[in-house]
Amino acid sequence: MLRKIRQIVIVALLLLCTGVAFGANLAKTNKLDTLTVEEQQQFLYYFYEAQRLIEKEDVEPAWELVQFCYALNPNDATINNYMGIFYDAFNQPQNALPYLQRAFELQPNEYWYQYAVYLLQSGNKQSEKIAIQNLQKVAKNNPKNEDVHTLLQKAYIHVKDYKNAFLIQDQLDSITGYNAASAMQRYRLNIVMNNLKQAIYEVERYLEEDPSDVQFQAFRLKLYEKTNQPSKKLIDAYMAILPYEPHNWVLMNNLAWHLCISGGDLTLAEKLSHATIMAEPSNSIYLDTYAWIMYHMGLYQDASFYIHRALEYAVPEAKKEIESHYKAIMKKLNR
C-alpha cells in the first residue's frame, strides 16, 4: 500500500512541478496574505519540506506536513490538490473528491486534470457530464493547451460522443500539426463509428504524407478487402507494401491469389506463391493458391500435384474451397 502511495504522489508531484519554478508559482497564486507573517512563514516552510520529503519518497511525514499546511490555509488550491492526491493514494475517493473539486474551483486553469479524471472514472453519468463541462471551459480559456484538449477528447470518446471527439482532433491538429498520431486517432474514430469510407480517406491521406508507413499500409489493405474494392486497387495496395514486407508469406499468398483470380500477372503470381510453399510446404492455403495458379496457367498436371498436397494438409475451414478447386482441376484432366 505504501509503495502505491509513493508512486501516485511522486507522479502527481512531477505533474505539478513541470515548467517554471514551482516556488514562484506557489507564491503568485496562493492567498498567503490572509495569514499572519508567522503563519505565512510556517506555511511555506512546511510546504517545501513536504515537497522535499515526497521527492525522497518519504510519504508518511510528508502527509503530516500537508495536513498541517491545510489547517493553516484551507483555501490554498495547491494544498487542496495535494490533499486529494494523498486521499486517492489511500484509496479513499469519498475524501479525495471534495479536495480535488475545491482545488479546481480555486484555480481551474491549474488544477483541472485530477478532478476531471476522477469524475470520468466515477461511472456516474452526471459526474461525467460535469467533467466534460469543466474541461470545455478550461479548453476555451487555454486554446493552445494540448493536454487539456487531449483529455477532453478522451472524455468525449468515453461517453461515445465521437462527433465532438473529431472536432477536438481538428483543434489538436491546429496545435501540434497533422501527424501520425492524428491520422491514427482519426482512423480509430471512423472504425468505431463504422464509417469505413471515411477511414479509407484518412488512411490514404496519411500515406500521401508517409508512403513507407507499413502500419497504415496494412490498415489500407484491411479496409480495401472489407469494402470489396476493385481488384486493381487492391493489388496496387498489396504491391505498395510488399517491398517493406519481403518475407510476409500471408501477404505474398494473398497478392498471388488476387493476381490469379483477377486475370493479373500470372508470372508474378507464380513467383510469389512458389516462395510461400517453399517457406511453408505443408500450408494447405498456400498449396491451394499455387495449384490454382497452375490451373490458370494451363499446367494441369502440376495443378493436380499441388491440389492433392493441399487436400492432404487441408484445415477444416479451407477444405470446401480446396475440394472445389480439386474438382475443377480433375475435370480438365478428364478424371
Count Cβ neighbours within 10 Å for each residue of 258-276 and write b for 16 or more, e otherwise.
bbbeeebebeebbebbebb
Q: Residue 164, Cα to own-chain centre: how many angstroms? A: 18
pLDDT digits (tens, 9 = 90+) for 141-182: 999 999 999 999 999 999 999 999 999 999 999 999 999 999
Give pLDDT, residue 23.
Answer: 40
Is residue 4 within 8 Å of residue 50, measured between CB atoms? no
Start and end residues for every CATH 1.25.40.10 domain found in the chain: 1-111, 249-335
Query: Percent of the chain, pLDDT > 70?
Result: 90
Q: Which fold has domain 249-335?
A: 1.25.40
- How far is Cα 293 from Cα 121, in angstroms, rounded to an integer? 56
Give pLDDT, residue 57.
Answer: 85
Is residue 30 predicted with pLDDT exceeding 70? no
Taking each helix axis from N to C end, the angle separating 284-296 and 266-279, rounded to the nearest 10 degrees, works out to 150
Q: Domain 1-111: which CATH class?
A: mainly alpha
